[in-house]
A = this chain, B = another copy of it.
Amino acid sequence: MIHTIEESRLFRIANPRSMAFFGASNSIKAMGTNLLMSVKSLGYEGALYPVHLREEEVLGYKAYKSVLDLPEIPDLAVIVLPTKVVNNTLEECGKKGIRQAIVVSGGFREVGGEGIVLEKELVRIADKYGIRILGPNCIGVANPSFKLNTTFVPHEGPGGYIGLASQSGSFVTQMFNYLYRYDLGFSTAFSVGNEAVIDLVECMEYLGACPQTKVIALYIEGIKNGRAFIETARSIVPHKPIVAFYIGGSEAGRKAGFSHTGSMAGPDRIYDGVFEQCGIIRARSVTELFDFCWVLGGLPRPKGKKVVIQTHSGGPGAAAADACGRVGLELPDLSRETVEKLAAFVPHTGSVSNPVDLTFSKNPDDFYGSIPQLLIKEKETDTLLVYFLTSPKIVERALTQMGIQEEAIDDLSRQWMEKHCQSVAGILEKYGKPVVGFTFMSLKDRSIKGLLSRGIPVFPDPDRAARAIAAMVEYSNYLSRI
């Protein structure tokens, strides 16, 4: 158990002041070149030393023939070389005095046979010099606030509060843009690869101590050291939620995972038991993994499982009620006091039971102000779930019809939506209860983006919203049991 990230063996891997880079050249065909380009494009501020036998300069950085020639001992070596030369390179790094390495190269244990021998040798060299290795067969680290991204894919967005430790590199890199679209991002994300030296548990421990990480995501094909996993998770979960997506439980998942990282998976129910013991929330898909992180990292904890639904439309309201019911959430009746107060805002065709269905708004401002405020103050409400559907097209049509000049419409529509998003965000902040949204609009629509950027999770589907709320309730229940 560590208390600060500086105590972790990963600290100078995720926060290196200087790097030696092996395998980058000026040819885009080399994997290493792509990785160095990602480092460069995020604006890494430390010293960069490409090591290359023939090049004088690599991507504008002075290159060195040998790591032994470098003018200082870098904090980190990033190795993206053909398998057969990795171990010699690591030996030289050790001689130079480098004590941290990311080995991106594959062809080790995961391919079996000779690969297993090569990996043993790699570990022997690491032990000999005391080198802390992430990988091999990994994609490295993304730590956006430190401007570090050693992966193949250029980083997008400003980073965020989700810490990730992943047995797949793709769930680091291919999530940059995915999370960005939800206005989310990684605090720090580790691709652990074959875990020859540093394993998933150490990454989890680092993220547990990381002040920017509000929730930890794990992608697991198989856990190697069950006891350490459980102990570490149990020490973290009381103060920081952990969500895990485990794919080894189905036969197809197990076989695919084995061919991917050589992980030995166990039956689903064993993992279920492990997760339950530790209070880890289990996700059943990548989508759920980050959905759950979104609400667990971004919202206050719900007190219980009672959800009040606010909608403009009967069908989506009923579908949301059904989705909540199916995952064990409850839809309480509203108190008489709230019902009476609501009456002023709800047309006679609407409903003041739960879901509260306006059918249409007497005054659109109420939908984003007085109504959610009344509903969140309701004592029966643990979580407020709101259906958002105000399409900019309809707002613009209305403004046109009201005789507003064309050139003013875009500004007015923007102001109108900003005001509404701000109003919902204010309600979330003031009352300390979770507010979750869902919509069938594009998340790029202005009215939805405005909510996302203010920390209101809006799911593109009531089912995803319901499952995310259920994940929050599960975590609250765990906290109240311990």
Contacts and interface: CB of A to CB of B under 8 A. Distances in A.
Contact of A315 (B171, B397, B398, B442): B171
B331 A28 contact: no
B284 A318 contact: no
B442 A256 contact: no
Contacts of A170: 313-316, 389
Given A250-B325, A315-B168, A442-B177, A401 B154 contact: no
A422 interface: no
Given A256-B318, A256-B322, A259-B357, A285 B463 contact: yes
A391 interface: yes
A477 interface: no
Contacts of A322: 247-250, 252-253, 256-257
A167 interface: yes
A277 interface: no
Contact of A318 (B257, B326, B353, B461): B257
Nearest to A37: B397
Contact of A317 (B256, B349, B389): B256
B178 A325 contact: no
A460 B313 CA distance: 26
Contacts of A181: 442
Contacts of A110: 349
Nearest to A168: B315
A117 to B, nearest CB: 15
Contacts of A219: 315
Contact of A314 (B261, B360, B441): B261
Nearest to A171: B315
A453 interface: no
A245 B224 CA distance: 42
A153 interface: yes
Contacts of A83: 349
A331 B255 contact: yes
Given A325-B251, A360-B31, A397-B154, A286 B391 contact: no
Contacts of A315: 166-171, 219, 260
Contacts of A169: 313-315
Given A256-B317, A286-B316, A287-B460, 11 more contacts: A28-B402, A168-B315, A168-B318, A177-B391, A178-B441, A250-B325, A252-B329, A253-B322, A261-B314, A285-B319, A285-B461
15 contacts: A28-B402, A152-B394, A168-B314, A170-B314, A171-B315, A177-B442, A248-B322, A251-B325, A252-B331, A253-B321, A255-B353, A256-B317, A257-B322, A259-B353, A286-B462
